[in-house]
A and B are shown apart, each in its own frame.
Chain A
Amino acid sequence: DIQMTQSPSSLSASVGDRVTITCRASQSINRYFNWFQQKPGKAPKVLIYGASSLQSGVPSRFSGSGSGTDFTLTISSLQPEDFATYYCQQTYSFPITFGQGTRLEIK
Chain B
Amino acid sequence: EVQLVESGGGLVQPGGSLRLSCEASGFIFSRYWMSCVRQAPGKGLEWVANIRQDGSDKYYVDSVKGRFTISRDNAKSSLYLQMNSLRAEDTAVYYCARIEFHGSGSADWHFDLWGRGTLVTVSS
Q: Which A residues are closer than 8 A to B by beta carbons?
A: 30, 32, 34, 36, 38, 42-46, 49-50, 53, 55, 87, 89, 91-101
Contact = CB atoms under 8 A, between A and B. Distances in A.
Contacts of B105: 32
B111 A46 contact: yes
Given A32-B108, A95-B61, A95-B62, A101 B44 contact: yes
19 contacts: A32-B108, A42-B116, A43-B114, A44-B37, A44-B45, A44-B95, A44-B111, A44-B114, A46-B112, A49-B100, A49-B102, A50-B110, A55-B110, A89-B110, A91-B110, A92-B107, A95-B60, A95-B61, A96-B50
Interface string B88-107: 00000001000010110101
A87 B45 contact: yes
A43 B93 CA distance: 10
B32 to A, nearest CB: 15
A50 B46 CA distance: 19
Given A43-B116, A45-B114, A50 B59 contact: no
Interface residues of B, number: 25
Interface in B10-65: 37, 44-47, 50, 59-62
Contact of B108 (A44, A50, A99, A100): A50
Grouping DSSP codes into helix (H, G, I), strand (E, B) and loop, the B interface class, with mixed when no group exceeds half, is: strand
Contacts of A49: 100, 102, 110
B9 interface: no
A49 B47 CA distance: 17
Interface of B: 37, 44-47, 50, 59-62, 95, 100, 102-103, 105, 107-112, 114-117
Grouping DSSP codes into helix (H, G, I), strand (E, B) and loop, the A interface class, with mixed when no group exceeds half, is: loop
B115 A46 contact: no
A87 B112 contact: no
Contact of B102 (A38, A43, A44, A53): A53
A95 B35 CA distance: 12
A80 to B, nearest CB: 23
B103 to A, nearest CB: 6
Closest 6 CB pairs of A and B: A43-B114, A49-B110, A96-B47, A32-B107, A34-B110, A98-B45
